[in-house]
A and B are shown apart, each in its own frame.
Chain A
Amino acid sequence: MSRFALAALAALGIAGVAMAQGMPKPTTPVDRPNATGGERLYVEHCAMCHGPNGMGTGLLGRRVEPALLEQRDNLNAQYVIMAARRGIGNMPPITRGEVSDADLKLIADYLAAGPHGGKP
């Protein structure tokens, strides 16, 4: 069983697994005080699903390595925009009311410039 699966079991309250391998803390802007531009917007709008304990990371981890989008070296900005606006697989579309075109472009450019190191 993967570390993520064990942690998910623990967080769901399922006995019989090691709580020591707990879920990581969610990543929010407080964890990246120096982040600006696309990185800051990514953490604010995307990290809840694409951070270390997110649904997107969990599902992508079943078929893509690395599962964390920030660690990818093969994301194209247009592809990111298309995936966000239309939705892809289990990911719902992200509306323009929630993330403006200008902000989404900054996020897409940030991901396309990856991989990004440092703290997940």
Chain B
Amino acid sequence: MKTLIDCQKNEKVRVVKLHAPKELKQRLISFGIMKEAILEVIEYAPAKSTIKIKAGKMSLALRAKEAQFIEVESI
């Protein structure tokens, strides 16, 4: 399973499924991270601890741990 943390910088991917616990899932959804959404990895913080992505027109920061819950596929 490929997750958001496995992506290269500047890679564009499509969300397949959210494997997050309920509360986090709500949070992700409220930011527009849901099935079929297109995400782009913009930047990794040092040691890949945090990741900056683009969801639609919005830039978001996620921890690596949260990014692992997001199953994606390449497009």
Tell me if chain B binds chain A: no
- Chain A residues engaging chain B, CB cutoff 8 angstroms: none
- Chain B residues engaging chain A, CB cutoff 8 angstroms: none
